[in-house]
């Protein structure tokens, strides 16, 4: 049976909107019907590029009965307003991470979509990369035994490349700076592989970039199973780099963007390469969203899970500010 393409409206015309639009075209499970942003020039450019109409307003896009879902790439601090409006109009929502800048907003977004009976899915594509899926399958099969430790690094060079007028690089728009903007991806992967985080110790620094936001950040995560992991994120390094090492009592796995995935079992003295076919994780998460809209799937990262993911980063920010270990339960209970 042929899949009926989900008709979408794209809200927010930053660079990530084009990434998602390209992925939707590659997927073949979507039809981009409309777009809206306050900049008429950006709206018209997007409409021309993707063969859709430019809506006169967000309200007009929501009122269009042809549109089934909203692909939302607006700034974090308007996620609640824009998603609540979409839910009220009975439109499903694919929302780029993080769900919001506060737990209260994350909870309100989740509640609005649940009440309206619409799908809410969050963009956490890194956990879907084939190497992490392979590690997860081995962990679930018991091959790694008791998980004890992990280390992760996600770094990019932003020197001379940032726009200080963009919300993505301001303390108000992206509290926690580099850790909330890109570190959240590997915080999510660590929880996906090692289990839920119980508490966080965090340290943040501004060493290279201008502006008012940290460009280097480090977290020590205590998982509920007792394992410890470390996460470093940087916008101040000389190059782009991704690292994820997982250590278990019976086996360990080592991934980095240059060397790929390797693993080593207890008793071996040499790590063996693991061949993982490269997948398009963004297409994968959008395909899941389309299936969920059609009632054939559930989002892996829904509102509740994404709000808890946000709480891990907010705990790190609070820890760095107050100089103490912060429990995730404390952040979730604060509801601010």
CATH assignment at residue 100: 3.40.50.720
Whether 323 is covered by a domain: the verdict is: no
CA–CA dist 305, 311 (Å, integer): 10
Q: How many CB atoms lie within 10 A of CB 334?
A: 13
| Same-domain pairing of 35 and 149 | no
Peptide bond into 98 cis (omega under 30): yes
| Same-domain pairing of 90 and 218 | no
pTM for the full predicted model: 0.96
Strand partners, 204: 217
- The pLDDT value recorded for residue 1 is 63
Query: How far, CA to CA in Å, does 91 sit from each of 86, 102, 173, 277?
Result: 5, 23, 25, 35
Whether 306 is covered by a domain: the verdict is: no
How much of the chain is helix, strand and coil, in % rounded to 5? 40, 30, 35
- The pLDDT value recorded for residue 335 is 61
CA–CA dist 110, 305 (Å, integer): 10
Alpha helices in 28-129 (DSSP H): 40-50, 58-63, 79-88, 103-116
Cβ-based burial of 260 (10 A; exposed 0-12, middle 13-18, buried ≥19) = middle
CA–CA dist 236, 158 (Å, integer): 6
| Same-domain pairing of 265 and 134 | yes
Query: How far, CA to CA in Å, does 85 sit from each of 76, 95, 98?
Result: 15, 13, 18
Do residues 54 and 36 lie in contact, with contact meaning Cβ atoms separated by under 8 Å?
yes
- The pLDDT value recorded for residue 79 is 98
User: Secondary structure of 157-175 in the HEC alphabet?
Assistant: ECCCCCCCCCHHHCCCCCC
Tally of CA atoms within 13 A in the half-sphere of 284 that contains its CB: 14
| Same-domain pairing of 80 and 188 | no
Tally of CA atoms within 13 A in the half-sphere of 121 that contains its CB: 25
Residue 211 is encoded by which pair of tokens? 């502006």
| Same-domain pairing of 166 and 234 | yes
CA–CA dist 317, 217 (Å, integer): 9
Whether 315 is covered by a domain: the verdict is: no
Structural domain count of the chain: 2
Whether 316 is covered by a domain: the verdict is: no
Whether 160 is covered by a domain: the verdict is: yes
Whether 74 is covered by a domain: the verdict is: yes
CA–CA dist 272, 255 (Å, integer): 12
- The pLDDT value recorded for residue 336 is 56
| Same-domain pairing of 91 and 143 | no
| Same-domain pairing of 271 and 288 | no
Do residues 311 and 332 lie in contact, with contact meaning Cβ atoms separated by under 8 Å?
yes
Whether 180 is covered by a domain: the verdict is: yes
- CA 203 remoteness from chain centre: 21
- The pLDDT value recorded for residue 163 is 86
| Same-domain pairing of 77 and 149 | no
User: Among positive and negative, which fits the CA dihedral 115, 117, 52, 300?
Assistant: positive
- The pLDDT value recorded for residue 274 is 98
Range of 227's domain?
Answer: 130-278
Q: How many CB atoms lie within 10 A of CB 248?
A: 23
| Same-domain pairing of 109 and 164 | no
Would you mind telling me the total number of residues written for the chain in this entry? Answer: 336
| Same-domain pairing of 146 and 238 | yes
CA–CA dist 245, 257 (Å, integer): 12
Per-10-residue mean pLDDT, the chain, length 336: 90 95 98 97 98 98 98 97 98 97 98 98 98 98 98 94 87 92 97 98 96 95 98 96 98 97 96 96 98 98 98 98 98 81
Strand partners, 30: 6
Q: What angle do CA 41, 95, 192 make, to 5 degrees?
A: 140
| Same-domain pairing of 139 and 263 | yes
CA–CA dist 94, 307 (Å, integer): 15
Residue 270 is encoded by which pair of tokens? 């040499």
| Same-domain pairing of 109 and 140 | no
208: CATH: 3.30.360.10
- The pLDDT value recorded for residue 232 is 98
Whether 99 is covered by a domain: the verdict is: yes
């Amino acid at each position: 049976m042929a899949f009926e393409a989900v008709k979408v409206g794209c809200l927010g015309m930053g660079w990530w909107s084009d990434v998602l639009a390209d992925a939707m075209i590659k997927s073949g499970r979507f039809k981009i019907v409309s777009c809206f942003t306050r900049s008429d020039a950006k709206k018209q450019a997007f409409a021309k590029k993707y063969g859709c109409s430019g809506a006169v307003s967000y309200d007009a896009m929501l009122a269009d009965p042809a549109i089934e879902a909203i692909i939302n790439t607006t700034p974090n601090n308007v996620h609640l307003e824009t998603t609540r409006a979409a839910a009220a109009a009975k439109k499903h929502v694919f929302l780029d991470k993080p769900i919001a800048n506060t737990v209260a907003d994350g909870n309100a977004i989740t509640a609005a979509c649940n009440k309206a009976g619409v799908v809410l899915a969050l963009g956490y594509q890194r956990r879907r990369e084939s190497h992490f899926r392979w590690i997860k399958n081995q962990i679930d099969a018991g091959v790694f035994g008791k998980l004890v430790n992990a280390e992760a690094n996600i770094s990019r060079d932003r020197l001379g490349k940032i726009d200080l007028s963009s919300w993505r690089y301001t303390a108000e728009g992206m509290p926690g700076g580099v850790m909330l903007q890109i570190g959240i991806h590997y915080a999510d992967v660590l929880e996906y592989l090692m289990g839920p985080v119980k508490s966080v110790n965090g340290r943040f620094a501004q060493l290279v970039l201008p502006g008012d936001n940290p460009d280097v950040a480090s977290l020590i995560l205590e998982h509920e199973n007792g394992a410890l992991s470390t996460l470093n994120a940087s916008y101040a390094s000389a190059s782009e780099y991704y690292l994820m090492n997982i250590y278990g009592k019976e086996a360990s796995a080592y991934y980095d963007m240059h060397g790929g995935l390797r693993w080593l079992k207890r008793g071996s003295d040499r790590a063996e390469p693991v061949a993982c076919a490269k997948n398009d994780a963004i297409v994968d998460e959008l395909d899941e969203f389309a299936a969920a809209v059609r009632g054939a799937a559930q989002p892996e990262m829904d509102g509740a899970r994404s709000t808890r993911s946000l709480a891990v980063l907010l705990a790190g920010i609070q820890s760095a500010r107050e100089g103490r270990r912060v429990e995730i339960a404390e952040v979730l209970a604060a509801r601010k």
